[in-house]
Amino acid sequence: MKFYSKCMLIIVALAIVFFKCFSQEVKYPNKFEGYLFAYFEGSGPGNVQEQLRFAVCSDGINWYALNQNDPVIKSDTISNSGGIRDPHILRKEDASGFYITATDMNTHKNGWAKNTGIVMLKSSDLGHWSHSAVDLAKEYPATFAKVKWVWAPQTIYDPIAKKYLVYFTIRFEDDDKLDFYCAYANQDFTGFEKEPTLMFSPKFGGIDGDIIFKDGIYHFFYKGNTKVDGKEVKNGIQQATSRSLQGPWVEDFKYLDAYAGTGTPVEGSSIFKLNNSPDYVLMYDLYTKGRYEYQKSTDLFNFSDAPLSFTKNFFPRHGSVIGISGQEARYLNSIWKGVPGELLIPKLFGDRFQFVAEGNPIITHQYTADPAAIVDQGTLWLFTGHDAGGKQKTFKMEDWSVFSTTDMKNWTQYPVPLKLSDFSWAKGGDAYAGQVIKRNGKYYWYISTNALGIGVAVSDRPEGPYKDAIGKPLLTNKDCYDSKNYWACIDPTVFVDKKGQGWIFWGNSECYYAKLKENMIEIDGAVKRINFEGFNFTEAPWIHEEKGIYYLSYATGFPEKIAYATSKSLEGPWRYQGILNEVAGNSDTNHQAIVKFKNKWYFFYHNGAMQPGGGSNNRSVCIDEIFYNKDGTLKRVIMTSEGVGKR
């Protein structure tokens, strides 16, 4: 009995080891934040359709073409025929690179009569690709001299053989049957180790196979059909399953797509898993309708009934999808442009996104608002609000952003340094305007949350991350003693004078100010209010000083302009000096920062100029120079499209 028990334990242990060793569900080192779609185009001139293109998205559903939907690699540089179709992209098992296989076929030039080979590509970075073309008829004439079609090659890693298996549909000239053949790729992925052999022969034939591994089972999706007396009566997406890539493959003869039997044919089925989700997406090409749709599943056997549509700014034909990291998305954008903004924003600690300001707005991959800036050790740091999403009808602001530059042209963005949710007391608010100031080696970020008050966060680095410094609001509406606005306690600006005294100004409709204690997290003394002749204050105060003169700039009226006043003391009296900046673009609000950097003064503001979707609730930060008159007054700011980065 003891011997039997020991044997059973050994068997169980070996089974566990076997499953762990040969599981195909690879754990890649990168956290995937988006998706890359490799495809060929279904619209435009026929001579440019059958070429490799890429598209990217953040959610697997809403796609954006790279390179303005022009090819990322031209087919005549990689194929024998001058065209490629059905590209399949795969991340290597060890995450060291990528493989693409594609049909070597140019139907625009040669029609559908014959193609005898495939294209194989490899890359270490998604941007630089080497290639080879494999002609089965020439390389393996004993078996494939009379091959008619070699279609839709794909690649999968075989953990038992520790090799990459390439499989594809074959049809011979003297046989109408469509079967799947396969061969292991050679070590440098330029061809096959041996002559391809039969892999899977569906009862009625099949094309466009795609294999995925889950829970010990290989799922083989393909376009199949049903025939009666040799005549096709139905077609659509089917699957076969196996415990091994070597088979046997068991067909279930069920149709998975919603269009089977409807007269609307589909092909080019491809399956991929959504990032951070149990769901799988089975997508397919409605090639007679010019649409791409999908159905979802969690177990790869049962799929949603109703098809869903992708949104896209292109018209893809048969392609495939892999997950990509934020770093990979940014690299793709540096080469071909077109990556949606949410994938460009760094998310992991230590990650960065570097970009060049091409004029105003300076940031075009996300909406930004309410700029504030400081200069620290030769670097200008820009802190902004973030209008989330785009096309918003109201303010939707959940976090703040931080950028830096040393030349006003080349910029670096850092991971989100501070979120509204970092303030436990700020439930239900919005991440309104704020300002960062450095003191005693620390950086203090004063933020506003609409009706919930002004908070302060602290960090040891300008890029953050920041944390709530006091666990409660620094100021609330109760401190706005003669205001009737429930949103009165917003838009803080901070300043440390030459004597080392810290000050904070804020407000909406009324402008308040108070001293700060040296610790920068407590109010020192009474709250006071500014008032002087001509002072029509709306919001957004900002303090700066030059040659012993203090400048109080602020938003006035609505839609807002920027006006300013001057004084010899931060406690006044203030003298109104007029309008500094007109209404900014199609934004009702305006919010400024004024900073001296490398002997020039800069005026930061926001407008609604970033399109599509820009406006009062979807704003963008701009920068122009600001100049002084001889008497110390300021010249009106001339807002430009060129900005300061190109000068």
Are 275 and 293 in contact by the 8 Å Cβ rule? The answer is no
pLDDT tens per residue across span 480-533? 999 988 889 999 999 999 999 999 999 999 999 999 999 999 999 999 999 999
> Is residue 25 a part of any domain in this protein?
no
Q: Is 370 a catalytic residue?
A: yes
Q: What is the pLDDT of residue 647?
A: 52
> 426 and 297: one domain?
no
Percent of the chain whose predicted confidence (pLDDT) is above 90:
88
Are 189 and 195 in contact by the 8 Å Cβ rule? The answer is no
**Residues paired with 118 in a beta bridge:** 103, 134
> Is residue 9 a part of any domain in this protein?
no
Task: Tell me the pLDDT band of 596, cut-offs 50, 70 and 90.
Answer: very high
d(CA 348, CA 350): 6
Q: What phi-psi label fits residue 264: left (phi over 0), alpha (psi between -120 and 50 degrees) or beta?
A: beta
Computed over its alpha carbons, how large is the radius of gyration of the chain? 31
Are 362 and 606 in contact by the 8 Å Cβ rule? The answer is no
Residue 214, SS3 per DSSP: strand
In this prediction the pTM is: 0.86
pLDDT tens per residue across span 450-468? 889 999 999 999 999 999 9
d(CA 647, CA 645): 6
User: Would you state the structure tokens that stand for residue 383, as one six-digit string?
Assistant: 């802190």
Task: Tell me the pLDDT band of 14, cut-offs 50, 70 and 90.
Answer: very low
> 264 and 237: one domain?
yes
Question: What contacts 275, CB < 8 A, 6 or more positions away?
Answer: 32, 33, 34, 35, 60, 323
Q: What is the pLDDT of residue 557?
A: 97
Question: What contacts 114, CB < 8 A, 6 or more positions away?
Answer: 148, 149, 173
- Domain boundary residue, one of 290, 312, 336: 336
Q: CB-side exposure of 49: number of CA atoms within 13 Å?
A: 17
Q: What is the pLDDT of residue 486?
A: 87
Mean pLDDT of 133-144: 98
Among 485, 487, 484, 483, smallest CA distance to 512 is for 483
pLDDT tens per residue across span 409-447? 999 999 999 999 999 999 988 999 999 999 999 999 999
Q: What is the pLDDT of residue 6?
A: 44
Are 412 and 404 in contact by the 8 Å Cβ rule? The answer is yes
> 308 and 433: one domain?
no
> Is residue 99 a part of any domain in this protein?
yes
Q: What is the pLDDT of residue 393?
A: 78
pLDDT tens per residue across span 159-173? 999 999 999 999 999
Mean pLDDT of 625-647: 92
> Is residue 46 a part of any domain in this protein?
yes
Question: How many domains does the chain contain in total?
Answer: 2
> 408 and 282: one domain?
no
> 462 and 591: one domain?
yes
Q: Is 539 a catalytic residue?
A: yes
> Is residue 18 a part of any domain in this protein?
no
User: Would you state the structure tokens that stand for residue 346, as one six-digit string?
Assistant: 């760094």
Q: What is the pLDDT of residue 221?
A: 98
> 185 and 308: one domain?
yes
Helices and strands (H and E) in the chain: how many: 7, 42
Question: What contacts 175, CB < 8 A, 6 or more positions away?
Answer: none
Residue-number span of the structural domain to which 506 is assigned? 345-635
> 296 and 396: one domain?
no
Q: What is the pLDDT of residue 611?
A: 85
User: Would you state the structure tokens that stand for residue 16, as one six-digit string?
Assistant: 């566990």
> 243 and 181: one domain?
yes
Q: What is the pLDDT of residue 15?
A: 40
> 199 and 72: one domain?
yes
Task: Tell me the pLDDT band of 373, cut-offs 50, 70 and 90.
Answer: very high
Q: What is the CATH number of the domain that holds 621?
A: 2.115.10.20
Q: What is the pLDDT of residue 24?
A: 37
> 287 and 409: one domain?
no
> Is residue 112 a part of any domain in this protein?
yes
> 319 and 359: one domain?
no
Q: What is the pLDDT of residue 646?
A: 63
> Is residue 6 a part of any domain in this protein?
no
Q: What is the DSSP letter of 91?
A: E
Mean pLDDT of 329-357: 94
Task: Tell me the pLDDT band of 290, cut-offs 50, 70 and 90.
Answer: confident
d(CA 258, CA 266): 10
Phi and psi at 47, nearest 5°, equal -75, -10
Continuous segment of H or E residues that includes residue 14:
helix 2-22
- Domain boundary residue, one of 311, 336, 361: 336
Q: Is the peptide bond before 462 cis (omega within 30 degrees of 0)?
A: no
- Domain boundary residue, one of 336, 370, 393: 336
Q: What is the pLDDT of residue 353?
A: 95
Q: What is the pLDDT of residue 7?
A: 43
Instruction: Write out the DSSP string of 405-460.
Output: ESSSSEEEE-S--EEGGGSTT-TT-----EEEEEETTEEEEEEE-GGG-EEEEEES
> Is residue 21 a part of any domain in this protein?
no
> 142 and 282: one domain?
yes
d(CA 220, CA 241): 6
Are 479 and 489 in contact by the 8 Å Cβ rule? The answer is yes
Selected residue with higher pLDDT from 613 and 382: 382
In whole numbers, what is the pLDDT of the chain averaged over residues?
Answer: 93
Residue 645 pLDDT > 80: no
Residue of 370, 422, 510, 560 marked catalytic = 370
Task: Tell me the pLDDT band of 83, cut-offs 50, 70 and 90.
Answer: very high
